[in-house]
A and B are shown apart, each in its own frame.
Chain A
């Protein structure tokens, strides 16, 4: 009767790899169960895409020769990416630390490091899926061409996600609670999205503002995505800016992150 507690040894051996797979699967399920962040990170960019598509009337000189919807696609990709990286990831991780979940995992053979990896994997995957959705819907419904320089686009997208996710980790390192992490993430999100051109596309910004924007992570990200969609290789300085932010945020997060 009581043997259940001590003796039962399951014949199927678990391995660290399957532990990681299970962590990814569980974190993905938990993400899907949070309706509000999902609406914000997936629903909102899709709705905005539809609105921009409906108001788009072919190439526009004031938008650098792009149609309205085409000029907004990179902005919406940056939007999705930073929603999950700056609001989703830090809220979850700081909340896990606050509630002793990271500490509990560190008392298992697997350790909380793998949970960090699982969170990054899940948030990166969602970003990539929504990006794909934006590109497909944009092409099918509104005639926006798929990226003409796909390799450059992938490099720009990966660097954008890396810069935002490492910034998210940094927020998770500094914030004591999940609630504070969410608030800090939102406070960063708004100015970063301003330079991405959410309210004022980069082509319509005054030159001085645009120069400042080029040095911000999402300003550089949107320019790089825009160029690669139009068929050019993203500028080296833009990619270097993104890589530099990734390294800086990553190193700081690495040094400051606490498990408890």
Chain B
């Protein structure tokens, strides 16, 4: 009997192929193989949002003849800078839906797949943060691309030093991607029922929280608390949500079956 089982043992233990880190990073690389998903499409979206913003700025100042400084203030509420984040949610959903079965077929574990994929999201979000910070710097230096337009210096970004602004971009991008991916793991494990249940649970939790806050007349205190933690704190919460979604996705995907 030992003569039979022995070679199996040795074979199973022997390979120095069990390099966990390498197993994770190859999944990360897998997510970047097709440059259209994480490079060109986001670039096209942000490019289009930039172009539209510039054209609007030109119309306002040159055609309508409004005061550039007044327009600058108005445009600082523009959501153009957020336009690619909607796409990122779709990327998060799609990444898991279309690459999990392939990765499992060529011998990845779900664990390595999830860690590698979320690492890809983190790398990507860091890149987006750097690019946005760079574009904002150019925008400020060139006086709104020579047109007083505001694209990247808008919303909360306008009030923050570049490194804090980059941190908020990173947090938002990562959260959107990981939440999208985690929802897909629910779909793969429990199909539509899983997604609907999670969706309803989140909505119910939010409603209960709103009711409780109203009931306790805690709105002023809550608003004061948010003001106290500031943008940094708010995006710390966003990062925390990303972390929770990441942990949840990890637990769910370990028993998920691709279809």
Whether both chains belong to one complex is answered with no
Residues on A facing B (Cβ under 8 Å): none
